[in-house]
């Protein structure tokens, strides 16, 4: 059903007032902020109809109305006027993120803390499993007679290293055989290809030498597993206790995020540039009083993850949604630039 212009104005005014005050909105309070020349009785009738349509609800018999998830959704999609981040906000985001670019691998986790500090809300950041990523470089650095440091760098800029101990002496000849194998059979291969069958094939390809450097291959496959696993980070969780709606269930919410799977599933369902997920629309009771504003960020053209905030449903969406969308775009841009710089450095070293 298409709402009349008057109902839309009334709904928008109720939502904006509730976001500002946190108190159910009654007809008298509404008449003070809405200049439509309507009596409190007429406003009550309109509010009652909006409740019947599922856009408002009444927490208590004598209380005013508060928005439902459907009410917020309509407000976000049709009624609100997003406020683009001003120059000062953009500069604050730019400056804070640019300080994290020195370490691309830790940049996403650090960005979550930056977002929490800027918004005063808990920030979630999640990497998505990118099975189309590949191994860009493998380096082996001898550390002793039977040990070596194995370094792996992926095509999306993630680096891992591991100290490996071998059962045999790491002779120059053995090291050269492993380097040749890595260049021919490992570098450039997509992460999704690193299954147990491939490990067996690589070991068998080089006969006795394959068994000699088996610990290096096993460590490499373990690092691929770690990189391919989706990760979830929560920063600024103490901010949850600053909202009366969330204070009682804050520990449950933190525990839910620590268990990862449910939240990762919800974040994976975000397909637009930025979306709002209402906890009341999920089957997870701990999320019901909250909502999430989540944006996707990319590395070049490849989707890398999600970042956003979690807070009470009465968040200031007009400001938050554009700011988080800008934040995610800036994060992706800096990650892309950091990877290009790494490639330039590597090309210069090889050249």
Q: What would the pLDDT profile of 117-135 be if each residue is shown by its tens digit?
A: 999 999 999 887 666 789 9
Number of neighbouring beta carbons within 10 Å of residue 348 = 8
- CA pair distance 71, 291, nearest whole angstrom: 13
pLDDT at residue 139, rounded to an integer: 93
pLDDT at residue 320, rounded to an integer: 96
pLDDT at residue 347, rounded to an integer: 41
> Of 185, 201, 198, 186, which Cα lies nearest the Cα of 155?
186
Burial class (CB in 10 A: 0-12, 13-18, 19+), 228: middle
pLDDT at residue 102, rounded to an integer: 64
> Of 218, 286, 226, which Cα lies nearest the Cα of 258?
286
Q: What would the pLDDT profile of 52-106 be if each residue is shown by its tens digit?
A: 999 999 987 667 999 999 999 999 999 999 999 999 999 999 998 888 776 666 7
- CA pair distance 100, 110, nearest whole angstrom: 7
CB contact at 8 A, 279 and 96:
no
Q: Kindly give the parts of the chain with pLDDT less than 70.
A: 1, 61-62, 102-105, 129-131, 342-351
Q: For residue 70, give both structure tokens.
A: 């459907």
Concatenating the DSSP letter of every residue in 205-220 gives: HTHHHHHHTHHHHHHH
Concatenating the DSSP letter of every residue in 244-270 gives: HHHHTTHHHHHHHHHT-HHHHHHHHT-
Specify which residues 348 forms β-bridges with. none
């Amino acid at each position: 059903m298409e709402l009349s212009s008057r109902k839309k104005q009334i709904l928008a005014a109720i939502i904006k007032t509730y976001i500002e005050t946190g108190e159910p909105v009654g007809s008298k309070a509404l008449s003070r902020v809405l200049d439509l020349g309507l009596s409190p009785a007429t406003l009550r009738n309109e509010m009652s109809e909006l409740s019947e349509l599922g856009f408002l609800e009444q927490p208590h018999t004598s209380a005013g109305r508060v928005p439902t998830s459907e009410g917020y959704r309509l407000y976000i999609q049709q009624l609100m006027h997003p406020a683009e981040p001003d120059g000062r906000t953009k500069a604050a985001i730019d400056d804070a993120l640019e300080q994290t670019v020195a370490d691309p691998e830790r940049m996403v986790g650090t960005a979550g803390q930056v977002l929490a500090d800027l918004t005063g809300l808990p920030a979630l950041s999640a990497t998505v499993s990118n099975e189309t990523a590949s191994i860009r470089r493998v380096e082996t650095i001898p550390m002793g007679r039977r040990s070596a440091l194995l370094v792996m760098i992926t095509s999306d800029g993630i680096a891992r290293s591991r100290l490996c101990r071998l059962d045999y002496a790491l002779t120059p000849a053995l090291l050269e055989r492993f380097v040749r194998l890595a260049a021919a059979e490992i570098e450039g291969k997509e992460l999704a290809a690193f299954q147990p069958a491939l490990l067996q094939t690589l070991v068998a390809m080089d006969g006795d030498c394959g068994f000699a450097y088996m610990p290096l291959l096993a460590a490499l496959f373990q690092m691929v597993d770690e990189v391919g696993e989706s990760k979830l980070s929560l920063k600024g969780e103490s901010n949850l206790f600053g909202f009366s709606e969330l204070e009682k269930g804050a520990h449950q919410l933190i525990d839910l995020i620590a268990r990862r799977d449910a939240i990762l599933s919800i974040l994976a369902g975000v397909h637009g540039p930025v979306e709002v997920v209402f906890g009341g629309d999920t089957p997870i009771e701990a999320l019901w009083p909250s909502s999430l504003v989540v944006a996707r960020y990319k590395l070049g053209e490849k989707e890398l993850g999600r970042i956003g905030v979690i807070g009470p449903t009465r968040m200031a969406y007009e400001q938050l949604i554009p700011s988080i969308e800008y934040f995610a775009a800036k994060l992706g841009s800096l990650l892309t630039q950091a990877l290009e710089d790494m490639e330039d450095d590597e090309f210069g070293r090889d050249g």
